[in-house]
Amino acid sequence: MLGQDVRCLLVVAAASGIATLILILVQVKDVYLPARTKYGMVFDAGSSHTALYIYQWPADKENGTGIVSQAEACTVQGPGISSYADNPANAGASLRACLDKAMTIIPAEQQRETPTYLGATAGMRLLRERNSTKADLVFAEVSKTIKQYPVDFRGARILSGNEEGSFGWITINYLLETLIRFSFTGMWIHPETAAVVGALDLGGASTQITFHPGCAIEDNSTEVLFRLYGTNYSVYTHSYLCYGENQALKKLIASLREENLTSQQISHPCYPKGYEENVTAAALYDSPCVPAPAAHDPSQILTVRGTGAPAECRSAIQKLFNFTACGANRTCGFNGVYQPPGHGQFFAFSGFYSVFHFLNLTSGHPLSDVSATIEHFCAKDWKEVQMVDPGMNKTRLQDYCAASTYILTLLLQGYKFDNQTWSNIHFHRQVGHLPGKVCCAAWVMP
């Protein structure tokens, strides 16, 4: 068991509402379980919505690391908690229905010893950056609500981007059994380290890339060390705040407006021709990711009109990145951030999966087919786009060209996949029988 002097916190990392149960330790991370079966609860406070995951684990261990399973999941109604910045009491109230449900699942005699955590990711990171007082009030309200239930509440906190990415890597490898698996002979088997896969995550406000590079990591700020099931892992991870899908598409509109700041009209090459929407300047510039011009009227109504121009769409999206700011003798992702060469297989989930799933591109299509499909879709006018899936909520349809073009740009020019390595990317909503990023890797008791 870990000693009392080792400080730890088990929290949840989220992106686009898919949870990652994670263990945060000082320096090297390791995972242990208590001597008997227990329950635990984790609120995944993502940028778009919140979910509650209930876990249970037996005493079964291998090299001190335990096997955890998900008992239940509950999606909180409403948006992510960062959306309640102006009405923080509602953030707490939104959690009640799922907490009530949890109390019907966890035996009454075990509820008071059930460790409960709330972990928030990029949505709350942005709120904290914009207004730390409002972020604190939101956390105070969700904490107050959870404390009203007979559970062992261990706290709420905002995860760093690297924490979110690195433990997403644990999640996917735990579920794929690349860290350890139970053989038919009743023995625990440790696969070769080379079997682990990389994790690509696209949330609403940030994107993460995490993988075991198979070589020395030159930048210590991008390295995380884990000890899992008796094996040491050195993992590269980086999180790009403001490059999640929602924030990137908002940055795109702001970038298009920069071409003519005095006009109230914005021509959008990624929106289908015939589509039009109005947005206030206040709504467009409401995020630290999208700084407002020096002089602007927040009440101004801007009209965004689609032009359906695939080539112009690609060019506009590429301008959101800096692909050249990399020092000599150094490999980078984008914006000058160090990244070792990609290594092995990668699983892409969250926004990567949902957007490509809409375009039927998640089943191992070659890169040429993916590019052609996106090009064809982006050339459709608004009437044609609405016919692709007539029963779908139309609030997102206009974004699929921009989102798919953004994803392709991010993967190819940002994360440096190419025609040879494209087949190493596997798009998945979920692995096995658990949601896409549920990390059953660890639960640490002091």
pLDDT of 276 reads 97
244-313+369-414 shares the fold of 8-242 = yes
Task: Quick: pLDDT tens for 252-286.
Answer: 999 999 988 889 999 999 999 999 999 999 999 99
Q: What is the amino acid identity at position 341?
A: P
Q: Residues 141, 163, 164, 245: which is the catalytic one?
A: 164
CA 81 to chain centre: 15
- Comparing 308 with 188, which gets the higher pLDDT? 308
Tokens 């190819």 sit on residue: 412
pLDDT of 257 reads 96
Query: In the CATH hierarchy, which fold is given to the domain comprising 244-313+369-414?
Result: Nucleotidyltransferase; domain 5 (3.30.420)
* pLDDT > 70? residue 441: no
* pLDDT > 80? residue 212: yes
pLDDT of 241 reads 96
Distance between CA 24 and CA 207 in Å, rounded? 19
pLDDT of 186 reads 59
Instruction: Read off the pLDDT of each residue in 174-182 and give the average, rounded to a whole number.
Output: 75
- Among 3.30.460.30, 3.60.21.10, 2.130.10.10, 3.30.420.40, what is the CATH number of 8-242? 3.30.420.40
Which of the four pLDDT bands, split at 50, 70 and 90, describes residue 200? Answer: very high
Residue 164 bears catalytic tag? yes
Tell me: is residue 409 an annotated ligand-binding position: no
pLDDT of 181 reads 64
95's tokens? 């959690």
Instruction: Read off the pLDDT of each residue in 284-294 and give the average, rounded to a whole number.
Output: 93
Residues 303/265, Cβ–Cβ less than 8 Å: yes
Which of the four pLDDT bands, split at 50, 70 and 90, describes residue 193? Answer: low
CA 125 to chain centre: 13
- Is residue 283 classed as helix, strand or coil in its secondary structure? helix
Is 363 buried (19+), middle (13-18) or exposed (0-12) by CB count in 10 A?
exposed
Average pLDDT, the chain: 84
Tell me: is residue 206 an annotated ligand-binding position: yes
Task: Quick: pLDDT tens for 365-413.
Answer: 999 999 999 999 999 999 999 998 777 766 789 999 999 999 999 999 9
Instruction: Read off the pLDDT of each residue in 434-444 and give the average, rounded to a whole number.
Output: 36
The ranges assigned to domains in the chain are 8-242, 244-313+369-414
DSSP class of residue 413? I
pLDDT of 182 reads 58
The string of DSSP codes covering 243-278 is -SHHHHHHHHHHHHHGGGTT-SEEEETTSPBT-EEE
pLDDT of 369 reads 98
Tell me: is residue 161 an annotated ligand-binding position: no
Tell me: is residue 205 an annotated ligand-binding position: yes
Task: Quick: pLDDT tens for 98-120.
Answer: 999 999 999 999 999 999 999 99
Tell me: is residue 287 an annotated ligand-binding position: no
pLDDT of 21 reads 41
Which of the four pLDDT bands, split at 50, 70 and 90, describes residue 5? Answer: very low
